[in-house]
Structure 1
């Protein structure tokens, strides 16, 4: 569409940029400071210089600088210690910064456990493939460490349930793909809560190690072996099949349960 056509359609203001507000100076300062944090110029836990130094550095007034602080604080990138001489401290957020609002959105959208487990099944097999292709011995050792931690939980059903969720999360984190890891982190708490619910609904006999726990451990062991050998295609196929079987057991009769009911 040409500019005259836009004008005739009644969108001339948009075409001329009349409705696009230029960023305020405080937002521009926040943008520059955000970039410094992202690029590592400012690290987690660092304290920002005093206001007078920052005002001189950026060439802005105190109200403008404080506006920038408010923007960064709302994003969880700094912590303002009001009334303290130490000033603002860098607080680099982790996955939980996304997980909390994401969980709320799932609740508001009436998402079901089936939705969540389908998403996990889309993420984890791809992560298994990436990890196998990485050839990174340190990552393999870290996954094996998560396996050993879970093995130590065999005698405690609730710890085993939580440890299982941790193993799944670590698999994705160690894949090296930050976007997949963020997605896994978003649904981690929901998965952990649901596995605990399943354990409480069907508690094992005292002193008995459940056969499904042993099967899970064997699956984790096989996955570690496959990724160590670099057998990416096989690792992906195996993990997808494992999730199909495991999810069917965990979700039996709970597919339509709302995320709200799990997190409430």
Structure 2
């Protein structure tokens, strides 16, 4: 039975392209050797000799790793594959591609966002540096000016950037990833069918007041007050989304 299982596994591997098998082996090598961004893999010729493959196969394997954002190819006589820091943009794009084929519902988005942002507010209370607090205050001023100028695009962009600044202070990488993913979706992919400028201004004013209350709670070091303010903020934002007839655009596959 063991021999049959090994034979079956070999057949499956034989059906996988050699370049994909090499790419998978390199991923395991990076993990096994605990390689970090800036570390270098052997140059292309050494990898070809190690795997006993052609230049075309080796380049196909390295290209797959480069597209994933795991390595970058350096040119020149001392060039070759270098480990790079995983990009959150590449990871979120993969999630967008998945969601493109699903039905997106704002009720589901805000059910998740309310919970995540409340956790984020608690998590960053006491961790926000003076620089973070200054940038949050600056962000509020940008929102106020843009709202007074009726610059809807800048207002919506700045509002989500407020939450991105909070993410910078968190020590929970999973929480940060999920919050930033939802922020990017709301910033990049939401359209508003209602063109009522007064309603947009009201939305902006409500967000500004929420952000001011959050900033005050953060400065006071009051995590529970910050969490309550964030919950109210998320409920208010969800209500305005409905009133402005917000919807996700259909181009979730777009990278720009």
Q: TM-score range by the shorter chain?
A: 0.7 to 0.9
The alpha carbon displacement at 1:245 in A equals 1.6
Question: Unpaired segments of 5 or more residues in structure 2?
Answer: 14-19
Matching residue of 2:165: 170
CA contact (8 A) 1:34 1:72 kept: no
Matched residues in 2 for 1:219 and 1:100: separation?
30
1:113-132 correspondence to structure 2 within 5 Å: 113-132=106-125
Is the counterpart of residue 63 in structure 1 residue 60 in structure 2? no
Matched residues in 1 for 2:228 and 2:112: separation?
16
Alignment CA distance shift 1:13-1:109 (3 Å) = farther
Residue among 22, 27, 32 paired with 1:30: 27
1:1-23 deviations in Å (ceiling 9; x for gaps): xxxxxxxxxxx669977766699
Q: Matched residue pairs, number?
A: 239
Matched residues in 2 for 1:148 and 1:211: separation?
16
Question: Unpaired segments of 5 or more residues in structure 1?
Answer: 1-11
225-234 or 180-189, which deviates more? 180-189
Alignment CA distance shift 1:133-1:93 (3 Å) = same
Residue among 93, 118, 134 paired with 1:141: 134
TM-score by length of 1: 0.71
Is the counterpart of residue 159 in structure 1 residue 161 in structure 2? no
Q: Secondary structure at the match of 1:63?
A: coil
84-93 or 212-221, which deviates more? 84-93
CA contact (8 A) 2:140 2:212 kept: yes
What's the RMSD between the two structures over aligned residues?
Answer: 3.8
CA contact (8 A) 1:81 1:87 kept: yes
CA contact (8 A) 1:30 1:71 kept: no
Residue among 229, 239, 242 paired with 1:248: 239
The alpha carbon displacement at 1:79 in A equals 3.5
Residue among 15, 31, 44 paired with 1:51: 44
1:45-67 deviations in Å (ceiling 9; x for gaps): x8766334x549xx824628927
CA contact (8 A) 1:169 1:185 kept: yes
Matched residues in 2 for 1:176 and 1:144: separation?
22
CA contact (8 A) 2:22 2:51 kept: no
Is the counterpart of residue 233 in structure 1 residue 243 in structure 2? no
The alpha carbon displacement at 1:126 in A equals 0.6
Matched residues in 2 for 1:194 and 1:226: separation?
30
Matched residues in 2 for 1:185 and 1:18: separation?
45
Matched residues in 1 for 2:67 and 2:219: separation?
42
Alignment CA distance shift 1:62-1:158 (3 Å) = same
CA contact (8 A) 2:73 2:82 kept: yes
Matched residues in 1 for 2:124 and 2:3: separation?
47
Q: Secondary structure at the match of 2:237?
A: helix
Matching residue of 1:9: none
The alpha carbon displacement at 1:223 in A equals 0.3
The alpha carbon displacement at 1:243 in A equals 0.9
